Amino acid sequence: MKNYSVKKYQESDCENWNAFIGQAKNATFLFHRDFMEYHKDRFEDYSLIVLYKDKWVGVLSANRVGNEIFSHQGLTYGGLVYNEASKLTTVITAFRAVLLFLEADGIEKLHVKTIPSIYHTKPAEEIQYALFLAEAQLVRRDSLSVIDLSQKYNFSKSRKRGIQKGKTNGLVIKEETDFKSFWDEILIPNLDERHGVKPVHSLEEMNVLKSLFPNNIRQFNVYHNGEIVAGTTVFESETVAHCQYISKYENDENLGSLDFLYNYLITETFAGKRFFDFGISNESQGKKLNDGLSYWKESFGASTIVHDFYEVETANYVKLDSFFTKSKNILTK
């Protein structure tokens, strides 16, 4: 525990922060400062850097609300990020240092969105063990529908019929660099009509993010007789193709547009990825399931992993003080 310290992120740390994210085993481009800064006006940034002596050993993307810290409300997932050289004891000690720093700054509670394991480039669930030791409370659990593309998977008969319908209707898939037609003609009208909400990202924000991360943010539209009828926005990381937005033109005619599109994405565009993540089908903080949406995803061969959310009292750093036990070296023949 000695020689560990924590400091708040400053703009002068940007280059080192991004370099650290680039070699971490449980980070994606969402933690890059260029991605986080697009909505900095919405959040009071409280990102932290953990050091061992002068060496960076962890970072926490976070924002502050009153006397509580969230990791990070503007990101899909979060938590303590660390590199592949980090041992379990290093992560636990770093997490203790974070809690101690927060308590000293008058922060009473830390909210942690864990990073789903499919986004790890190597096993990286040390933080889950640290949360357990700190007696963090599980407050939300979402279900992600995921295809492991390294394993055999099968499309259901209904999906195959939809794919064939798309072919029969002469649908055309195009990857676009502009989000305008999908946002204005498909996504925004559908979200407004069905849920009374707007996309998390505005059209302007998506265009900015695309310019910053052209290889990570991709837009695929489906056209029928030259008119857009469906589309999806994909966030691509090293191991995962994640569907950020999925929507189609809602009318009485079923063209098979989404079945046609997702067959193309799964079997061709992202066939070389380890995982294809359809995202959640949950509502009400994970308490309700949109079973129709979940079934549609599962009928492509997806199955479930969970995404957990925790709350931990910062004063619980003391619970991490005595977890180490000394043991003698044991040699086996």
CA 323 to CA 241: how far, in whole Å?
38
pLDDT digits 0-9 by tens, 130-144: 999 999 999 999 999
CATH of span 4-142+309-320:
3.40.630.30
Strands 275-280 and 240-248, by their bridges, are parallel
The CA angle 116-122-125, to the nearest 5 degrees, is 50
CA 319 to CA 296: how far, in whole Å?
44
- Band (194; pLDDT cuts 50, 70, 90): confident
Domain with CATH 3.40.630.30 in the chain: 4-142+309-320, 151-273
pLDDT digits 0-9 by tens, 101-112: 999 999 999 999
- Band (331; pLDDT cuts 50, 70, 90): very low
pLDDT given for residue 332 in this prediction: 40
CATH superfamily of the domain spanning 151-273: Gcn5-related N-acetyltransferase (GNAT) (3.40.630.30)
pLDDT given for residue 252 in this prediction: 54
pLDDT digits 0-9 by tens, 232-251: 999 999 999 999 999 998 67
Residue 55 tokens read as: 């060496």
pLDDT digits 0-9 by tens, 35-78: 999 888 899 999 999 999 999 999 999 999 999 999 999 999 99
Residue 198: half-sphere exposure toward Cβ, Cα within 13 Å: 5
CA 235 to CA 278: how far, in whole Å?
11
